[in-house]
């Protein structure tokens, strides 16, 4: 009985698909790495620290340093300029956004110093991930500026950054201050 079932298992296993197409085209990631072997690997899926885009600082004050290509120009972009870049068509990240971000940023910076080191590292790592996404999408947009989908994604990426700032800011203080007696 067991043998019969195991044989059926063997037969069925041989029929399982061995060729499976990936959901997305994996070649670009490979091409980029083999083209410039000395550049650290850029893997968007894990968004590990990439030398392609180096983000300095983990507080709300961020300097984006975008390295384009192995020998290409080093572009230093301040957050305000990046926000300006995200103002297109009917979408606008104007001064209102800046003010909101500044407010959240202040709370966030104050909270950062209160966090335990491991948590602070965690938050910084995650903020980095969100910012890498912002730069990735910005770069894609540069090559395809009229892409409405990319424009929407960029705006949502900025919103994601704000969301992290908002969710983390003031947490510890709120707990400590509660019903302070």
Interacting positions 75-114 with another protein (CB under 8 A): none
Helices vs. strands in the chain: H and E counts, helices first: 7, 3
Q: Which residues contact 44 (CB under 8 A, 6 or more apart)?
A: 29, 136
Q: Least distance (Å) from another protein to the CB of residue 64?
A: 17
Q: Least distance (Å) from another protein to the CB of residue 142?
A: 14
Rounded-to-integer distance, Cα 49 and Cα 56, Å: 11
* Listed ranges 60-68, 81-89, 98-106, 146-154: which one lies at the site for another protein (CB under 8 A): 146-154
The distance from CA 149 to its chain's CA centroid, rounded to whole angstroms, is 17
How many CA atoms does the CB half-sphere of 7 hold within 13 Å?
3
Q: Which of residues 115-144 bind another protein (CB under 8 A)?
A: 115-116, 118-119, 122-123, 125-126, 129-130, 133, 136-137, 140, 144
Is residue 6 a contact point for another protein (CB under 8 A)?
Answer: yes
Residue closer to another protein by CB (options 69, 94) is: 69
Q: Which of residues 8-67 bind another protein (CB under 8 A)?
A: 8-31, 33-35, 37, 41, 43-47
The answer for 16, left when phi > 0, alpha when psi is -120 to 50, beta otherwise, is beta
């Amino acid at each position: 009985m067991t043998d019969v079932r195991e044989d059926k298992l063997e037969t069925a296993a041989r029929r399982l698909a061995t060729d499976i197409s990936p959901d997305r085209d994996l070649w670009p990631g490979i091409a980029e790495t083999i083209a410039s072997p000395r550049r650290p690997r850029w893997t968007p899926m894990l968004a590990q620290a990439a030398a392609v885009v180096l983000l300095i600082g983990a507080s709300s004050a961020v300097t984006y340093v975008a390295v384009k290509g192995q020998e290409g120009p080093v572009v230093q972009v301040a957050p305000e300029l990046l926000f300006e870049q995200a103002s297109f068509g009917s979408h606008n990240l104007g001064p209102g956004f800046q003010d909101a971000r500044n407010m959240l940023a202040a709370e966030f910076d104050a909270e950062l110093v209160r966090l335990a080191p491991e948590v602070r590292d965690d938050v910084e790592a995650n903020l980095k991930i969100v910012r890498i996404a912002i730069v990735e999408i910005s770069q894609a947009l540069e090559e395809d500026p009229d892409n409405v989908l990319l424009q929407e994604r960029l705006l949502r990426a900025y919103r994601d950054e704000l969301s992290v700032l908002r969710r983390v800011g003031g947490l510890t203080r709120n707990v400590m201050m509660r019903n302070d007696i």
